[in-house]
Every structure is written in C-alpha cells, then in structure tokens.
Amino acid sequence: MLSMGRLCFFSSLTRLPSCVTSRTAAAAGATCGLQQQRGYSSPPPGVRVLYDGLCPICVTEIRFLQYLQKNQPGKVDFIDIAVPGYDASKYKDVTFEKAMEEMHVIDENNVVHRGVPAFAVMYGAVGLGWLGRLMMWSPVRPFMNKAYDIFAKNRLKWTGRGDKCSTGRCE
C-alpha cells in the first residue's frame, strides 16, 4: 500500500488507476494539501495522555508507561493536568474538571477518548495493544467499564485527597 505522500506524488505525475475512486482521490488530495499547509518540519501530534500528577496510582502507571516507550521518545506525551499552567485550549478543551472525572487521551488524529477507550489508545501507543484490545473486547468491556467507573468515582478518596479536591484545583 502506498503512503499518502507517495500517492500524492504519483497522482500528480500520472492518472489515478481505476481502483482509486474519486472519493479516495479527493481524500488523497485533501491530505496532500494538509501536508503542504502544515509543512514537513512539523510532525503530526502523537498520542497525548492527560493524567493527574498528584494521584499516586496514576503517577505509578504513567511512570511504567514512560518506561515502556523510552525507546520511542515523542510518540506519547504525558500531560500533567495538575500543574498550575495546564491550558485546556491546547488539549481539545478538556478542562481540569473534566480530566479529573475520568481518563482522557487524545490520539494521533486529534480525537479525544475517555474512560476505558482512553486506556486502550494509551496502551496501544506504548506497545501494549494486546491489553487495549482485551479491555475493549465485548465480553470483557462491561466489566472494565464498571470497574473503571468505581475507580474513577473513588480514586480521590482512596488516595487520601477526597477533601482536598472537592472543589476546583487540588490543594
């Protein structure tokens, strides 16, 4: 299969083969234009994981994931929402409050995933795609959703921060 860059190059030199429909050609043209507008010097954004840097459980998992992707720097950016300078406008308007309610991950296509699907995207990005697929597998997914809902509702209490994070930013 040709990459979009090669398809753009070849489509400019020759007519498109009959197996490429006008819809595919239009998509390829739009992609070619996007690459030209963005420029080749700015790489597409990687996966961005929004996490609570004051949550000991969250930080332990993030450190493990950082270790797993140490040989692929820049593929996953871990964004601490607890820092005072966190700017939701840089992250698809995922506010601190929204991010505190459940896990948010923004994929390479700039799509926001929440809850269990966020974990699946995050695990896939660090080489644990099998774990993400297992979590999303239809017989397992209801259990994962329920377990994560319980965790998300209780993590502040379980980490001793229930009172400190009841309103606004955590103290």
Q: For every one of its 171 residues, what pLDDT tens digit does the chain have, with 9 covering 90 and above?
A: 444 444 443 333 333 333 333 333 333 333 333 333 334 445 556 899 999 999 999 999 999 999 998 877 778 999 999 999 999 999 999 999 999 999 999 999 999 999 999 999 999 999 999 999 999 999 999 999 999 999 999 999 888 886 666 445 555
Question: What residue ranges do the domains of the chain occupy?
Answer: 4-38, 47-158
% of the chain residues with pLDDT over 90: 60
Looking at residue 99, what is its pLDDT? 95
Q: How is the chain classified by DSSP, letter by letter?
A: ---HHHHHHHHHHSPPPTTS-HHHHHHHHHHHHHHHHH-TTSPPP-EEEEE-TT-HHHHHHHHHHHHHTTTSTTSEEEEETTSTT--GGGTTT--HHHHHHS-EEE-TTS-EEESHHHHHHHHHHTT-HHHHHHHHSTTTHHHHHHHHHHHHHHHHHHTT-TTTTSSSS--
Model-wide pTM > 0.75 = no
Looking at residue 47, what is its pLDDT? 95
